[in-house]
Amino acid sequence: MALPSNKLITINDRGARAATTFGSISAGGANMVFIKKLTASSSGTLSFVDGASSVVLDDTFKEYVFTFNNMHPATDEVNFTFNGSIDTGSNYNVTKTSTFFGAYHGEDDGDAGIIYRANSDLAQGTGFQPLGYLIGNGNDECTSGSLHLFNPSSTTFVKHFIATTNDYYYADYSLSHHVAGYCNTTSAIDAIQFKFASGNIDAGDICLYGIL
């Protein structure tokens, strides 16, 4: 007796290929996907350009996260900054409006408070946005934190960003900064560049993740 072909097709119904969940398999944190790591070594800039060097920065993900770990400047007392590009890195000069505030506390316990830093926000500026503030270049001094970039591929909306850093300020303070704003363009952002305002990035890692 031959098995009717329609029964066979019913059993092998391509259910596995069409599956959207996988039973007992744990996603294991797969909602945050590692994309790319850049390691500074006396680098002038570190850039993530969509389509280059395995970087994905397009509509694959609706949110991207950059983590920066121990960004150490070659030059003392410099801001750690970023900018966006709408032409895959040919120019980093998108218009941005942002807020920048944080808390400060001296190692000598003599000075502490919260402050809005008007010299580090932007109002329709195209320059680089500070994330870390006047970082020291002592051997153990650096800044670490993260930057969230929302829906960079949108051609309808502005592109919001939110960053949090902790900085080793050059005059021996701990600074905690909260930076947020938007790239005021309806063009898709397809590249992000990081640099210190002056001098090289002597050391440090920046990783890019996509959020599913």
Partner 1 sequence: MPIIKGLDKLVKYNDRSIKDLTTTPTAAGGGGTGAIVHIKTLTASGDSTLNFVNGASGVVLDDTYPIYKIEFINLHPSADGDYLRMNFSIDTGSNYNVSKITTHFYSGHAEADGSTAVAYDTSSDYVGTGDLTIAPSVGNDNDQAFSGSMTLFNPSSTTFVKHFISTIHEAHSDNLAVSTYVGGFVNSASAVDAIKFVYTSGNIASGKIKLYGILDS
Using CB under 8 A, which of 52, 69, 99, 158 touches partner 1? Answer: 69
Number of residues located near partner 1, criterion CB under 8 A: 59
- Stretch touching partner 1 by CB under 8 A, among 64-72, 76-84, 85-93, 120-128: 64-72
Is residue 54 a contact residue for partner 1 (CB under 8 A)? no
Q: What part of residues 70-129 is at the interface with partner 1 (CB under 8 A)? A: 70, 72, 102-109, 112-114
Residue 69 C-beta: closest distance to partner 1, Å = 5
* DSSP secondary structure code for residue 153 in this structure: T
- Stretch touching partner 1 by CB under 8 A, among 28-36, 88-96, 153-161, 190-198: 28-36
Could you identify the residue written with the tokens 């050391």? 203
Residue 56 C-beta: closest distance to partner 1, Å = 11
Using CB under 8 A, which of 2, 6, 14, 156 touches partner 1? Answer: 2
Three-state DSSP at 21 gives: coil
Burial, 112: exposed, middle or buried (Cβ in 10 Å; 0-12, 13-18, 19+)?
Answer: exposed
Is residue 175 a contact residue for partner 1 (CB under 8 A)? yes
Using CB under 8 A, which of 95, 99, 164, 185 touches partner 1? Answer: 164
Using CB under 8 A, which of 6, 12, 54, 124 touches partner 1? Answer: 12
Separation CA 65–CA 161 (nearest Å):
10
Tokens encoding 112: 């502490």
Tokens encoding 93: 């000069």
Residue 94 C-beta: closest distance to partner 1, Å = 26
Separation CA 210–CA 58 (nearest Å):
10
The residue type found at 27 is A
The residue type found at 150 is F
